[in-house]
Structure 1
Amino acid sequence: MEKIVYAISFLLSSANYVVNLSIPLYLIYKFSAPPFILGVAGFSGNFAYTLFTYLFYRLKHKIHFPHFIIASILISFAYFLLPFIPSYFLFFFILFLNGIFYSRFWPSIQYFFSSNPINTDKYNLSWSSGVILGIFISGYLFKLNVIFPFFAGSFFAFLGFLLGKINCKNFKKYYEKLPEKIYIGKKLDLETKRIMFLNFINFFCIGGVFFLFPKLAKSISYSPSLISNIMTSLFLIRFFMFYILSKIRFEIKDDFFLIYLFDFITLLFTGIFKKPFLHLIFISILGITSAFSFRITLIKVIEKGYSTELNESIIGIGFFTGSLIVGILSQIFGIFKGFIISGFMVLFISGFMELFFKNDNN
């Protein structure tokens, strides 16, 4: 069954990213969407994802059924509908619903590993390789026809549903035997808070880049396929970093200043440079930082008995605040300055929080 879980994770992450990269391009193409609207697009689904993963965490919801099976078919249907939506409002509403569906999918998948956290390394490789495929084909499909990425996403999600449905009985039995979550009433320790905040910052940067970089790139005449290639480089680097990190053992250092500095450099130079090669280099840095933060956070959360829903809600907050804040700043100051200001914001907030955690520890 483990291989089935890896396959479903691969398919749904492919579905997610073949569509997500196309959403900004589609909104620009169909509605001539300004930066603020692109930020709202990123906000809609990620806000729903964050809200409902957190609600399930607060409700101390126990996963004794593989909800990812039902979620997969609902995600497939949502992606199929998106290109036929005639207005912003309905488009964002479908994205919001899809965020709810994903809030059941990923925590349910991750709960599979609750009895063996180290196997999350293979899980990380499976979903991150799906991201690479989705990002890579997105621009090419969009170039052929603007609705093809949505149909591809729907198809991938449907395949994930079929795999889950075929093995549904086995999954039910397996999930019923998994141990009860032990996080109930458990207060987060300082180490977990620090790595969760690090993960938040990295996904804040990815959210901003993912939803607003296509607008910046279109303003300097990058083609959809070039945009997808640049974004693919980020996730390709992340995949290789997941592999490297799975082969080494290391201790968490006293601070994460170097990682925060890399995040700052990425946003700063994305807003300064106007050359594809330079954008590829600096955006790819996020692949290194996000692989590190996601891996250590997921393993620590499962090892210490905390909720994967809480971890996923932190990731969702990063995604939707990143897309929304970079979108608002870009609307006010222009797309290039929006990235630059966001970079300084990340540097300032990260530095402040590191000092806060150190004082809290003392």
Structure 2
Amino acid sequence: MKKSFFCMFLSVTAFYFLLPTSCLFAKQNISLPDFIFNGKPVDAKAIGMGEAFSAVSDNASASYWNPAGLKQLEGKYFTTCINISQKTDATDSDLFAGDSLQGKKLIFIGFADSKIAFSFRPISDYSAIHEAKKIELRANKYTLSSATQNTERMKFGINVNYISAQLGVTDLVNPAANISDGNGIALDFGLLYTASEFIKLGFSVENSPGYIWWTDYKRNIIKSHIRTGLSIKPANWLLFSADYENIASLKKEFYHGGLQQTLAKHVFLRQGIISEKFFDNADKKSLTLGGGYELKKWLIDFAAKSYQLDNADKNKVIDYTLSLSMSF
């Protein structure tokens, strides 16, 4: 395992030093929306628990929430996550105003076991006007993950991400258009600490660092995304979780709380809450509800997330997500 970590770091170092000079001396800056590389949270189990998952991370989506959680897997898994639909009276322009994927259905595909994982995640499928320019961006993230057991209580995980992108810019003031290819790299790190038989602590940081280089523009820095949390399992049928989240690109902090109950041997019920103001502002609060079912080699998870848009009409939205995982 130590060799695999060394090879991953060596590859990243080589990437930095072998970058074409054309990428380093791009022509001009390009202004993009702050959220444009954020993508969407993945995995219906995590979403159903209020996205309080950094200290849980016990399924095939662990590479996204906390790569150290891969060490908890007991088999090999294939998983996919789909954003089924969004129910709202809002117009598309209001609904997708802060959504880099703008309603894209497929949001995650991955293969994982207890040592290594590979995943594909679209992070942008964006088309809108920004600062007198029409911006069109397609960007995908390819992630290689690895995890190790450092001590009896401490697990460590790392993601090495390659980002492939294509950017179209149309100047609406001085009519001109340009299409630029982009290549990027980002590192993520995660820690999972078992404090006791019932309590775990988690920490993860995404895009630390993260960069994307364009053929015709100066590089963009992809800002960090931090999660830290705890999970408490007082009984086999009950799991509590809580997370603090800091999204640097949005300059916002979020607080998450989640609950999972085992109703029967293979049936799970989940509830959660997400708040921007530590649960005291109804307008900035999201509620989640979800369920899960294990069927032989299949794991089926479903989640609904209810929230309010920050538009003039304060429209309500219910976001439905489905995850399918298969062990092999």
TM-score, with normalisation over the residues of structure 1?
0.27
Query: Larger relative CO (CA 8 A, sep 6+): 1 or 2?
Result: 1
What TM-score, normalized by structure 2, do the two folds share?
0.29
